[in-house]
Amino acid sequence: MFSFQFPEEVKAMLMPVHRFMGSLLFILVVASIVTGITEKLFFSGNYSELPTRAVVGNLLGLSVVLYAVGIGILIVEPSFKKVTVTEDYRNLNE
């Protein structure tokens, strides 16, 4: 909330921890979503017959996993890294 008051050295020191904790939280949320969908479908009755409800649940789970993979690629790929204003300005002047 008051991070603008911290010195730049402190912000730079905490950034790797912030990124790791954000990624970990995202992975845990996706796991919770997929587990919840699976549990709801499995305990709702005749899952082995694969009713329409199960197909929709499976597609929802698959879409959540594909979304998570896309976000994971954006997090890991260095070309999608945020460029600071000074770096961007420096690149334009070269």
1 in a domain, yes or no? Answer: no
Element (H, E) at 65: helix 52-76
Distance CA 64, CA 36 (A): 12
How does pLDDT run across 46-64, given as a tens digit for each residue? 777 878 888 899 999 999 9
The arithmetic mean of pLDDT across residues 15-44, rounded, is: 93
39 in a domain, yes or no? Answer: yes
78 in a domain, yes or no? Answer: yes
Instruction: Examine the pLDDT at 15 and tell me if it is beyond 70.
Output: yes
Distance CA 42, CA 78 (A): 40
Instruction: Examine the pLDDT at 5 and tell me if it is beyond 70.
Output: yes
71 in a domain, yes or no? Answer: yes
30 in a domain, yes or no? Answer: yes
Instruction: Examine the pLDDT at 17 and tell me if it is beyond 80.
Output: yes
How many domains would you assign to the chain? Answer: 1
Print the domain residue range for 62: 23-93
3 in a domain, yes or no? Answer: no
Q: Which contacts qualify for 70-78: CB closer than 8 Å, 24 or more apart? A: 71/26, 75/19, 75/23
10 in a domain, yes or no? Answer: no
